[in-house]
Structure 1
Amino acid sequence: MTPGRVLFATALLLVAAGVGARLWSARLEADGLELAARSRDAAAAFTQSLVGEHHDAELALLDQRRERMVHAAWWGRGGMLAFGVAVLALLAAWVVTWGLSVIWARDLPPNILLAPLPPVLLNAFGVALYLAPLMGVG
């Protein structure tokens, strides 16, 4: 495998990891909202009966909710970081592939900055731009 293909495969894995982390973050946030609803129910039961065990149950649910929200935030940030690293890895894969092809061919284009992007990379950047709002980027 060429270094460009290795970097490209790594970038695709990072995109998948980023999307998975973001989906896991959304699930944890939903669990946190469910715990909040259960906490409200426990608070209502506490105010109705004024029994100490309901208060303890409410505090336990609040602790669980805080813990889930911390995990959700951590996974959300991890997903955004993996997504950003994946986009940078895609750019690095293109630079390495293009650079090696220029070195092997020994001919430089008239203007290096205007060298065309390969279609695979354009498709990858299109997918990245499509997924960016889902990942919370931009």
Structure 2
Amino acid sequence: MSAAIAILRWIVRLTGLAALLIGFALWSGTGYNLLGAHQGLGYVLSISLLLMAVFGFTQRLSPTLLTLALLLSLAVPGLGSMQTRLLPGAAHWVIEVLHLLLGLAAITLAERIGGQARARAKSSAA
């Protein structure tokens, strides 16, 4: 299972970076033709985080961390898909910032899950 988490961690890293770059392009008012790619990357990231959490439960990693990962794996694409309908107008930047922060939190949780899984593998090998 540790190998699966390691692979998923890299998927989150790569898709997260690409989604962030496209997201910043969208935020700046350019790159609207990349919206579908941004959404697809977000879905892959969220599914990867969800799978990391499931594998993490089988390895008895931190249940609090894994529960947060499960919740974020649903919240990020949920907010992203509803984003254009929430707080339209001058206050819409609040939703954009919230979406960015949730995405960064998802990437951070994936890193923490990966770190815990790696530490557990090292301690059991010793």
Question: Given the two structures, how large is their TM-score scaled by the length of structure 1?
Answer: 0.42
Scaled by the length of structure 2, the TM-score of the pair is 0.45
Higher relative contact order (CA 8 A, sep 6+): 1
